[in-house]
């Protein structure tokens, strides 16, 4: 049955990519579903910039870019005040994917898990979507969101991730999923690069099993994603490139690749050249004034040379809170796109006469 649903989802998305007007209900941005483009495209702006075709195309050319000489001093910027958007009541035109759920806000909780790597328990925030408590049988996809440095697990909260999730889930634009924001212990998070004794080991061997055992997750790779900002973006890419069997998608949001001191075994720029990531959905982005833009573009180039489908965007902004705050909804739409398609396929199949 799972194979049938996934095949049906794939077939539905393929048809929609050819004729979006015939499947307006999906309302999925084309760039999130990797349409077959003849070549890369680059347009500055707030939207998606680059879509890489999964089939060979003429040799891709990238304009030379100026490489920064030194990493600028990163000064924490006070996060902007997030003003929740007043949501209109759901209508028939925007039918909720789960018509039985009338809640429009989720719940944010504290949690802890035991870490043998670090030697003490570790904290995380977890966002449970609307109606999580209403149905004890329902299970949900999960996204792991990693913070930057010198921030901590509150980073994604300060960027407005809860408000964005409430908006997209409460309105029915996306199906509900769980968000996990773990603490990156200072030494392990900043001074290790990969392996079982690093943050990679903490997340893969300790945090994911703890979350899957305590909460009602869909504990399979098709319903698990990982993303991160700055230092967290480097970790997300490293972990996903080394463990593509665990994740459907990875997001490197302003990944600090230029100051990553990893060896080749754990460097995403090196791993991307040979890792088995052809089934991994990849999203890369940076601001147009962001010092991480150059290495992010270099990673996109590596993926393009392998004809690996991915999305690379350049938004308007710097390496700071205001830029990421404008992007969190786009991040959630990227992670949730295939799960939305699955829900629509399930509903269509349920409506078919028996």
Domain that holds residue 314: 37-64+89-334
Could you give the percent of the chain with pLDDT greater than 70?
72
Asked if residues 313 and 62 have their Cβ atoms less than 8 Å apart, the reply is no
| Separation CA 347–CA 295 (nearest Å) | 42
> How many domains does the chain divide into?
1
As a whole number of angstroms, the distance between CA 185 and CA 190 comes to: 8
- Asked if residue 200 belongs to a domain, the reply is yes
The per-residue pLDDT for range 250-261, each reduced to its tens digit, is 999 999 999 998
Instruction: Tell me whether residue 184 is in a domain.
Output: yes
At residue 34's C-alpha, the angle toward residues 224 and 178, to 5°, is: 20
Q: Is residue 81 part of a domain?
A: no
Is residue 11 a part of any domain in this protein? no
Q: For 236, how many CA atoms within 13 A lie in the half-sphere containing its CB?
A: 33
Across residues 303-331, what is the average pLDDT? 97
CATH value at residue 259: 3.40.50.1820
In a domain, 74, yes or no: no
Q: What is the pLDDT of residues 188-212, one digit of tens each?
A: 999 999 999 999 999 999 999 999 9
Residue 79 inside a domain? The answer is no
Q: Would you state the pLDDT for residue 348?
A: 84
Residue 116 neighbours by CB distance under 10 Å: 11
Residue 347 lies in a domain: no
| pLDDT at site 92 | 31
Has residue 130 got a pLDDT over 70? yes
> Which pLDDT score is estimated for 63?
42
Out of 39-43, 171-175, 177-181, which region has the weakest mean confidence (pLDDT)? 39-43
* Region class of 195: left (phi > 0), else alpha (psi between -120 and 50), else beta: left
Query: Max Cα separation, the chain?
Result: 66
Mean residue pLDDT across the chain = 80
Rounded distance between C-alpha atoms, residue 230 and residue 214, angstroms: 29
String of DSSP letters for 328-340: HHHHHHHHHHHHH
């Amino acid at each position: 049955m799972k194979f049938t649903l996934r095949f049906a989802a794939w077939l539905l998305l393929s048809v929609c990519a050819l004729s979006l007007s015939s499947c307006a209900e999906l309302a999925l941005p084309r760039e999130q579903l990797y349409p077959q483009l003849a070549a890369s495209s680059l347009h500055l702006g707030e939207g998606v910039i680059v879509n890489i075709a999964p089939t060979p195309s003429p040799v891709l050319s990238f304009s030379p870019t100026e490489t920064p000489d030194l990493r600028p001093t990163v000064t924490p910027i006070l996060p902007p005040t997030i003003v929740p958007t007043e949501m209109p009541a759901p209508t028939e035109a925007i039918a909720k994917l789960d018509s039985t759920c009338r809640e429009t806000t989720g719940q944010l909780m504290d949690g802890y898990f035991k870490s043998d790597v670090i030697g003490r328990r570790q904290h995380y925030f977890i966002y449970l979507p609307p109606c999580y408590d209403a149905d004890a049988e329902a299970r949900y996809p999960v996204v792991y969101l990693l913070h930057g440095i010198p921030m901590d697990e509150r980073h994604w909260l300060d960027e407005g991730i809860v408000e964005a999730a409430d908006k997209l889930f409460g309105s029915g634009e996306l199906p509900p999923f769980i968000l996990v924001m773990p603490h990156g212990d200072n030494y392990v998070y900043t001074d290790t690069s990969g392996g079982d004794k690093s943050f990679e080991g903490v997340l893969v061997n300790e945090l994911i099993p703890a979350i899957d055992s305590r909460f009602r997750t869909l504990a399979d790779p098709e319903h698990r994603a990982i993303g991160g900002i700055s230092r967290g973006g480097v970790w997300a890419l490293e972990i996903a490139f080394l463990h593509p069997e665990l994740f459907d998608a990875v997001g490197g949001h302003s990944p600090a690749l230029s100051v990553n001191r990893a060896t080749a075994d754990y460097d995403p720029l090196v791993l991307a050249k040979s890792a088995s990531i052809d089934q991994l959905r990849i999203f890369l982005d940076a601001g147009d004034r962001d010092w991480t833009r150059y290495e992010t573009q270099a990673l996109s180039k590596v993926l393009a040379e392998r004809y690996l489908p991915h999305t690379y965007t350049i938004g308007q902004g710097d390496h700071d809170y205001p830029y990421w705050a404008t992007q969190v909804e786009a991040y959630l739409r990227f992670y949730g796109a295939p799960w939305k398609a699955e829900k629509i396929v399930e509903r269509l199949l349920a409506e078919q006469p028996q």
